[in-house]
Structure 1
Amino acid sequence: MTVKSILDEKGRDVVTLGPDVTLADAIGLLAEKRIGAVVVTDGDGRILGILSERDIVRTIGQAGAQALDLRVSGAMTAKVTTCRETHTVNHVMEVMTRGRFRHLPVERNGRLDGIVSIGDVVKRRIEMVEREADQIREYIATA
């Protein structure tokens, strides 16, 4: 199973922000959409960074309440690990586990093409294991 199969089912819509939005506005957007991260892009859909709840907590911890007036570009993770739709669920799970992050933007031709979360990946992995178990049970029953 690949990232493409996840995106084909859940869609390719991604909540994005520009780098000059304030942290307060970004927090409001995360709360409104009930999501844990937002991808920071330029006007052409190129990924500039990702802003997660962890980034926000770290920034507020360092700067205090004044952090809310800072620009997203000052709080985001600028070195973004991405994947492609051809990557497997197992590969993406390994990358996310090793990097200790829960959101992985999907990139195609240098532009944002979707996003997968650890929840998406775990759901697909469980489906794969259940399907394999069903196939083994069926094989045993017919043997």
Structure 2
Amino acid sequence: MLIEQILKTKGGDVTIIKADHTLAEAARILDEARIGAVVAMNGDQLAGVLSERDILRQVARHGAYALQMTVENSMTRGVITATPQETIDQCLGRMTDRRIRHLPVLRDGRLAGIISIGDLVKWKIEEHKAEADAMAEYIKGG
């Protein structure tokens, strides 16, 4: 299954934040949206990804002061991305190898959506269930 299919079902909405916002603002956005990461943008260019873990690391290092720090100083740069034409297995492999939970999806260099490891696992389970159901029906009928 291709990432494009997941985006068609999930949608391409991505919660974004400006790189000059504070970690306190980012934490509020994550909490309100009930998500684990936001995409930081500079104009229409992907600047980085900020996750709950990034915020937690800064708080562990700097205490309450960390919440005044900017997203730009805390986000992951050099973001690993996916394309709509990649498979679930390709993206799961990349996420496992790189130990990341979120992949922004770029179409022609522009942000088209974001997928999480949870999204991919859900689709993988559904794929296996459909295969098992088809096999059971085949056995019953044959």
1:17 match: 17
SS in 1 for 2:56: helix
What is the identity, as a one-letter code, of the residue corresponding to 1:22? Answer: T
Written as runs of structure 1 = structure 2, the 5 A alignment for 1:25-36 is 25-36=25-36
Distance 2:141 2:5 in 1: 30
Letter of the structure 1 residue corresponding to residue 81 of structure 2: T
- Structure 2 residue 25 is matched with structure 1 residue 6: no
After TM superposition, give the deviation of residue 138 of structure 1 in Å. 2.1
C-alpha separation in 1, matches of 2:99 and 2:108 = 26
Instruction: Classify the secondary structure of the residue corresponding to 2:72.
Output: helix
| Structure 1 stretches of 4+ moved >3 Å | none
Q: Do structure 1's residue 64 and structure 2's residue 63 form an aligned pair?
A: yes
Aligned residue identity for 1:119 = G
Alignment gaps of 5+ in structure 1: none
**Match in the other structure for 1:99:** 98
CA-to-aligned-CA distance 1:70-129 (integer Å, 9 cap, x gap): 110000001210000011111111111122121111012222110011111111101110
- What are the residue-to-residue correspondences of 1:1-143 with 2, within 5 Å? 1-44=1-44, 46-143=45-142
Moved more, 59-68 or 121-130: 59-68
Q: Which structure's relative contact order is higher, taking Cα pairs within 8 Å and 6+ residues apart?
A: 1
Alpha-carbon separation, structure 1, partners of 2:110 and 2:53: 24
RMSD of aligned C-alpha atoms?
1.0
Partner SS, residue 86 of structure 1: coil
What SS does structure 2 have at the residue aligned with 1:116? strand
> Which segments of 5 or more consecutive residues in structure 2 lack a partner in the other structure?
none
Amino acid at match of 1:55: D
**Which TM-score applies when normalising by structure 2?**
0.95
Q: Distance in 1 between matches of 2:118 and 2:24?
A: 26
Distance in 1 of aligned mates of 2:68 and 2:110? 28
Task: Give the secondary structure class of the aligned counterpart of 1:90.
Answer: helix
Amino acid at match of 1:94: G
